[in-house]
Structure 1
Amino acid sequence: MKVALIHDWLPFMGGGERVLTSFHELYPDAPIYTTICNKNRLDEPLKSANIITSNLQKNNKEIKNHRKLFPFMPTAIESFDLNKFDIVLSSSSSVAKGVITKPDTIHVCYCHSPMRYGWEFSHEYAGKMAGKGNLKAKVLGYFLTGIRLWDRTSSDRVDYFIANSQNVAKRIWKHYRRESVVIHPPVRCNLFNISNIDEEYFLVVSRLQEYKRIDLAIEVFNDLGLPLIIIGDGPDRKKLEAMAKDNIKFLGRETDEVIKEHYAKCRAFIFPGEEDFGITPLEAQASGRPVIAYGKGGALETVVDGITGIFFKEQTNDSLKNAVLKFENTKWDKNEIRNHALKFDEEIFKNKIYGYVNEKSKEHKNKMSNVGTVI
């Protein structure tokens, strides 16, 4: 059985790329098709994988802002010839699910999210992208209408959907009217460990983008004066650094070893944004550290309130501040927190994915053999 892996884009490592890494380890001989790829910014084993990019990437040059290419990505993902493959496994939060396959090929899509900027988050994204320009806003509105039509239509090309959370399963049903099973993303629990060293800082590990709401964490820790370390980079870094007082430190992009050490020694992990799932809270819990999280989205499926963390109900200064103060008066069991994270370990994830793809491959083959009645 020939297998192909599909991913939206590979500009750098993130949660979706960790999922793709697990897929690659399950199917090491499968080529990876994606719109663009910056190999020098990937971790092993993806860096040495057989990655095939679209014509959006010229001469293997690094793509510094892949978002500018988004209008061309639906066409780019459709350009791949996948006719020789029996199984296509896509990892999609945008265009990857739109690949075109032959009838006998089974396409299983692991959906991180329906296009966030195409559906219920479109007003938020459009306002930020268009700014104050009325003409630009109108043009962008027409474009988003078109992308929604493509997104809905391309969802019909998927034979079976896997959602990364119950939250995403609901959105898949709402926008695509498709059933899905839930298999939570993998956490490499063996990379993280409990430390007996308890330092005073709180921790954020995140891409520095607006919807992550790192600005809220900075506002609260500015007021409280407590030490906060922020690991990660992104388009909002300069703006966020300008907001921060001396008790807040930005480390930028760091190695896995540095991140692992900071998880293990922090007082708590701060997760102020709403995510469809969110891997970093589980990495913190795998290190035995509690999470202070916004109580919406995927965090509701990964954090146990009062046992492995604390929720704050509103994305406001007062709500997060009260959660931090509540954290100060709560006792935590590091081993209990880590044991909860072990339920999401990557080996469990791989076994579930492998079993599901095999099961549905047989089902699809039987279904296609019975299509069409000869009279």
Structure 2
Amino acid sequence: MANVTLAATLANDTRRFGRVALVHDWLAAYAGSEKVVEQILQLFPHADLYSIVDFFPESQRGVLGGKRAHTSFIQHLPRARKSFRSYLPLMPLAIEQFDLSAYDLVISSSHAVAKGVLTGPHQVHVSYVHSPIRYAWDLQHQYLAEAGMQHGMKSWIVRLLLHYMRIWDHRTAHGVDAFVANSAFVGRRIRKAYGSDATVVYPPVDVERFELGTQHEDFYLIASRMVPYKRIPLIVEAFAAMPSRRLVVIGDGPDFARAKACATPNVTLLGYQPDAVLVDYMQRARAFVFAAEEDFGISVVEAQACGTPVIALGRGGVREIVVDSADPERGTGLFFDEQNVASIVDAVERFEARPLFRGEVCRRNALRFTAERFKHEFMDVVERAMHDNKGFADTAPALQYRRSA
């Protein structure tokens, strides 16, 4: 199969795009949204970087091209390094203080407030939205329940703040020239929250670092941060009800103790594990189990890149990643309908009753989400926005491909 190499020489030509600013909510860890920032900076290596706070690990700063972000006043507030999220009510004010008036193109990478930067009519603003602010929009009631703030004065104060955030978030949507969503699911959220359409560009996944597993063993796998919406204890409970099925759990977080409390002898909790161990288990697992309603689901792509099928909740962006089909040339997993023990147990039993999924089919499906594809599609959106909003001269494609055997 031909190798495809991205040549972004024209994309890096400042004469075509002028001065470029890239705005991200906050820089504290190298996770899914930061991988998007990494790829955008590869397209625009001369872009100036802005963020509410920048506490990015020094050992990983190379993914940002060695850049340090211009930060807001929140960077210097007490306990900001460990608790900057507690300053969320101040973030709309903070993001509006960035003076971006000298830039021709502003790109925001937003799951909270980054899309709210102020831009003028002479500027083009392209916003890659990982999600509208989840806890302020459709997931408000879920977050309040998980935080134990459904009643009382504190609950009403938080509800009032979230009401303010929604008003601000909706108003600032008018400053965006082109929305990009990381899935069609998020695109529908954008439509409901902002009344705007969005182009879907799936986030980049480094599928090349995964190899096809050669031998699947008799255990199921979860690998995730143990936060409430991931529903890890629920999956552990389901396997506790299936003592003949083995489950391995990789990850750490606030829900670790809850998961451990309901674990039975057939469930092994490994806690945090280095990347090499995670990949090894992904390659050997019988199936990867996923019970969260996610905007996208990078770990689901990674499991399929290892040739491992997925048993997942059939909601959210995962429906765009997993192919639930009995056709061995198409199927990469199956869905369950509800976040409860009975639904997960039923899905595992249905999985066991099906013919084996083919590893090469799973991997081929995962290859739809490469970094090369992300760069090509994202640049298409940027060029179109520049052309539509500034009379941008579309004389030659910014991305060229060289194919070699």
Q: Secondary structure at the match of 1:281?
A: helix
* 2:40 match: 23
1:9 counterpart letter in structure 2: W
* 2:196 match: 178
* Residues 191 and 260 in structure 1, CA contact (< 8 A), matched pair in contact too: no
Instruction: Flag structure 1 segments of 5+ consecutive residues without an equivalent.
Output: 368-375
| Corresponding position: 1:6 with 2:23 | yes
The change in CA–CA distance for 1:206 and 1:41 in structure 2 (over 3 A counts) is farther
| Corresponding position: 1:324 with 2:348 | yes
The change in CA–CA distance for 1:166 and 1:83 in structure 2 (over 3 A counts) is same
Q: Secondary structure at the match of 2:316?
A: coil
Instruction: Flag structure 2 segments of 5+ consecutive residues without an equivalent.
Output: 1-17, 326-330, 393-405
User: Greater CA deviation, 248-257 or 152-161?
Assistant: 248-257
2:256 counterpart letter in structure 1: R
* 1:359 match: 384
Q: How far, CA to CA, are the matches of 1:302 and 1:94 in structure 2?
A: 24
Q: How far, CA to CA, are the matches of 1:202 and 1:49 in structure 2?
A: 40
* 1:371 match: none
Correspondent of 1:221 among 239, 243, 268? 239
What displacement does 1:272 show?
A: 0.3
What displacement does 1:41 show?
A: 7.5
Q: Secondary structure at the match of 1:5?
A: strand
What displacement does 1:121 show?
A: 0.9
* Residues 74 and 84 in structure 2, CA contact (< 8 A), matched pair in contact too: no
What displacement does 1:9 show?
A: 1.6
CA RMSD after TM alignment: 2.1
What displacement does 1:253 show?
A: 3.8
The change in CA–CA distance for 1:102 and 1:155 in structure 2 (over 3 A counts) is same
Q: How far, CA to CA, are the matches of 1:130 and 1:137 in structure 2?
A: 9
What displacement does 1:62 show?
A: 6.9
| Corresponding position: 1:35 with 2:52 | yes
1:106 counterpart letter in structure 2: V
CA displacement 1:121-147 (0-9 Å, x = unmatched): 111112333536511111112111111
Correspondent of 2:103 among 67, 74, 85? 85
1:1-375 matched pairs, under 5 angstroms: 1-40=18-57, 43=60, 44-46=62-64, 48-58=66-76, 63-131=81-149, 133-225=151-243, 226-306=245-325, 307-330=331-354, 331-366=356-391
What displacement does 1:34 show?
A: 1.3
Q: How far, CA to CA, are the matches of 1:266 and 1:27 in structure 2?
A: 39
Q: Structure 1: which 4+ aligned runs deviate by more than 6 Å? A: 59-62
Q: How far, CA to CA, are the matches of 2:192 and 2:59 in structure 1?
A: 34
Q: How far, CA to CA, are the matches of 1:252 and 1:108 in structure 2?
A: 39
Q: How far, CA to CA, are the matches of 1:248 and 1:220 in structure 2?
A: 10
* Residues 40 and 47 in structure 1, CA contact (< 8 A), matched pair in contact too: no
Q: How far, CA to CA, are the matches of 1:41 and 1:206 in structure 2?
A: 24
Q: How far, CA to CA, are the matches of 1:41 and 1:64 in structure 2?
A: 16
Q: How far, CA to CA, are the matches of 1:76 and 1:202 in structure 2?
A: 44
What displacement does 1:365 show?
A: 0.8
User: Greater CA deviation, 198-207 or 287-296?
Assistant: 198-207
* Residues 45 and 65 in structure 2, CA contact (< 8 A), matched pair in contact too: no
Q: Secondary structure at the match of 1:90?
A: strand
* 2:6 match: none
CA displacement 1:264-319 (0-9 Å, x = unmatched): 12111111011111111111111111000001111111100031001001111111
Query: What is the percent sequence identity of the aligned residues?
Result: 39
What displacement does 1:42 show?
A: 7.0
What displacement does 1:60 show?
A: 11
The change in CA–CA distance for 1:266 and 1:88 in structure 2 (over 3 A counts) is same
Q: Secondary structure at the match of 1:131?
A: coil
Q: Secondary structure at the match of 1:193?
A: coil
2:214 counterpart letter in structure 1: N
2:294 counterpart letter in structure 1: E
CA displacement 1:91-125 (0-9 Å, x = unmatched): 11111101112322211011111111111111111
2:311 counterpart letter in structure 1: I
User: Greater CA deviation, 42-51 or 203-212?
Assistant: 42-51
The change in CA–CA distance for 1:107 and 1:39 in structure 2 (over 3 A counts) is same
The change in CA–CA distance for 1:173 and 1:203 in structure 2 (over 3 A counts) is same
What displacement does 1:337 show?
A: 0.9
Alignment TM-score, normalising by the size of structure 2: 0.85
Q: Secondary structure at the match of 2:241?
A: helix
**Aligned residue pair count:** 367
Q: Secondary structure at the match of 1:108?
A: strand
What displacement does 1:214 show?
A: 1.2
- Greater relative contact order (Cα < 8 A, sep 6+): 2
* Residues 41 and 65 in structure 2, CA contact (< 8 A), matched pair in contact too: no
